[in-house]
Copies of this chain bind each other. A is one copy, B any other.
């Protein structure tokens, strides 16, 4: 979404979990990784910062320095408030989408990180579905003032939150929000952006 927002041409290369350590000679333990000519950048936020600094004449992802620093708060909200519920709702779906070597890696790494077998994590998913909409109250109130977090049009802050819900959508299905919920309507607007780029991503 950030690359499309900047209007930059790019090739997307999906990798299985177990291949990530070999990308770019072990440049990063996690994806995404951006290669731009001979520059390598890891981490979504750092990639957005790099793109805005390197291509300042293209549409801005942050809307200036204040937007850049406050996007960290949006990222933190997404990670601390939304990621664990999405994990609980999506974890078995993700597991079931993987090939066998990745399933083994996924099971072991999630046990290590979450302290529970993935079945035990998934058992909490139904309860999360009930309370998920309430977690988004700060987003809902913001959308009372403006159609995107970024104002009249999206900024990287929108793509951060969109990413959390898109992660759910392409693994476990649509986020548990009513069709007339302003957050769901914003999510649909995000799916339409950049010629429906997000909508074209479907589960494997």
Q: A63-B64, A77-B77 are contacts. A69–B155 as well, Cβ < 8 Å? A: yes
Residue contact A138 to B80, C-beta cutoff 8 Å:
yes
Q: Measured between alpha carbons, how far is A80 from B99 in the docked complex, in Å?
A: 42
Residue contact A138 to B64, C-beta cutoff 8 Å:
no
Contacts of A74 in B (CB 8 A): 70, 73
Interface residue from B80, B140, B157 paired with A70 (Cβ < 8 Å): B157
Interface membership of chain A positions 50-78, coded 1 if the CB is closer than 8 angstroms to chain B and 0 otherwise: 00000000001011111111111110110
Q: Residues of A within 8 Å of B, CB-based: how many?
A: 32
Contacts of A138 in B (CB 8 A): 73, 76-77, 79-81
Residue contact A137 to B63, C-beta cutoff 8 Å:
no
Residue A28 at the chain B interface, CB threshold 8 Å: no
Interface residue from B63, B72, B149, B157 paired with A146 (Cβ < 8 Å): B72
Residue A133 at the chain B interface, CB threshold 8 Å: no
Contacts of A68 in B (CB 8 A): 66, 151
Residue A44 at the chain B interface, CB threshold 8 Å: no
Distance between A133 CB and nearest chain B CB, rounded to angstroms: 12
Q: Measured between alpha carbons, how far is A63 from B66 in the docked complex, in Å?
A: 4
